Amino acid sequence: MTKIDRRALLAAPFALSGLTACDRFAWAQPKPPVVPPLKSIAPFPVGTCVQSSQTTDPAWVALAAREVSQLTPEWEMKMEYILADGLPGNGGSGLRFDAPDRIAAFAQAQGMRLHGHTLIWYAQGAEAFAGLEGPRFVEAFDAYIAAVAGRYRGKVVSWDVVNEPVTDEGSSLRDCHWSQALGQDGYILRAFQQARAADPDAVLFLNDYNLENNPTKGATFLKLVERLMKAGAPIGGIGSQSHLDIEIPAGQAAAFIRDAASLGLPIHISELDASLRNGSRLDLRSHATRIEQQSARVGELAEAFTALPAAQRFAFTVWGLRDTDSWLRQGERDDGKDQPLPFNAAGQPNPMAAVLARAFA
């Protein structure tokens, strides 16, 4: 890690005051802040998500190599991809590992850690497992986890074992094909047990979203973690996706991080982005106001994470590096204006990168 003087860093021109437009030309765009590589100043791993196609994009590869030390497959390690040809033994022709294998090889070649994402998710698997009941369902459930987690044993440092188990409203757990077969807590407990058997060394995470945005959901999630721990689940960490609503009250994100930390487990900020949009057809906030809100909420989250004990700072992952990589900028979502990520389409730092750098330093 390059040694950087803290006082010089804090005084450097990535301060937000340096983001004003050129004085001589009113039409000029704000100058990008000057930001040191995030991985060079963070005292913990900094990550991003990745698709296999990006590993052959020279611009993305150069930016990722400079900024991050950990990768999470965005989609191609999920059940929807791996079981695209159906579940073996239930009419399928086999598991598909070509893309996740390429990502794993890329991470190894780059000297980056790999975080597995995800084994069991309520949103996927219903069609592949359709018609299986009782012992056949359990056997297929166990076999899938054994095959996927076992294939990447020694190649991943961690897994999101179960993804998004709490409802959007936040007061209860989801009713899904997994819970209907194995129970709402039961399928989660079994998934952790099977993941531990397949990969004894990986750190096993429970991962969910809106935990900072919705205090009710955050509390339900942490109560679930406590129950799982008491039941003997080999849960090794808490994953908070942190798709931040920039209009949540000040202090709310930090409060969740403090509450989560009280359980003593490592914490992974696993999918950070922060849209400037609020979903309203008529949004009267100025661009400057939105950037100010984004900077405040992202800065609060990053500072709360950085303040954790070192053993609890597992990694800080942004869900994409460039704005145009974001799921928020795909298809009809893209108005060409949103800046949910640390870097713009050209790989230049956005204000978010400056905020993260100040917090990490």
> What share of the chain in percent tops pLDDT 70?
91
Active site residue 271: yes
Residue 332 near residue 346 (C-beta atoms within 8 A)? no
Eight-state DSSP code of residue 348: P
| Matching residue, tokens 């942490």 | 222
Tens of pLDDT, residue by residue over 43-83, are: 999 999 999 999 999 999 999 999 999 999 999 999 999 99
pLDDT attached to residue 25: 37
**pTM greater than 0.85 (yes/no):** yes
For residues 231 and 131, give the distance between their C-alpha atoms in angstroms, rounded to a whole number: 30
SS3 113: strand
pLDDT of residue 201: 98
Dist CA 26 CA 17 (whole Å): 17
Q: Strand locations in 21-141, DSSP E?
A: 46-50, 70-73, 113-121
Provide the pairing of β-strand 203-208 with 237-240. parallel
156 residue type, one letter: V
C-alpha closest to that of 264 among 239, 241, 236 = 236
164 is catalytic: yes
For the cut 50, the answer to whether the pLDDT of residue 157 exceeds it is yes
Q: Residue range 325-354: average pLDDT? A: 93
Which member of 164, 292, 303, 332 is catalytic?
164
Residue 212 near residue 167, CB atoms below 8 Å: no
pLDDT of 28 over the 50 cut: no
Query: For residue 201, what are the CA distances in angstroms to 12, 103, 150, 267?
Result: 41, 20, 11, 17
Residues 251-274, mean pLDDT to the nearest whole number: 98
Q: Confirm if 206 and 239 have CB atoms less than 8 A apart.
A: yes
Of 247, 293, 276, 285, the residue nearest 335 (C-alpha): 276
Q: Which domains does the chain have, with CATH numbers?
A: 29-276+284-329+336-360 (3.20.20.80)
Mean pLDDT of the chain: 92
Amino acid, single-letter form, for residue 234: P
Round to whole Å and give the CA distance between 360 and 38: 8
pLDDT digits (tens, 9 = 90+) for 307-322: 999 999 999 999 999 9
Which residue in the list 67, 74, 212, 271 is annotated as catalytic?
Answer: 271
Dist. CA 345–CA 331, nearest whole Å: 16
Query: Does the pLDDT at position 1 exceed 70?
Result: no
For residues 87-91, average pLDDT = 93
The C-alpha atoms of residue 243 and residue 273 are separated, in whole angstroms, by 5
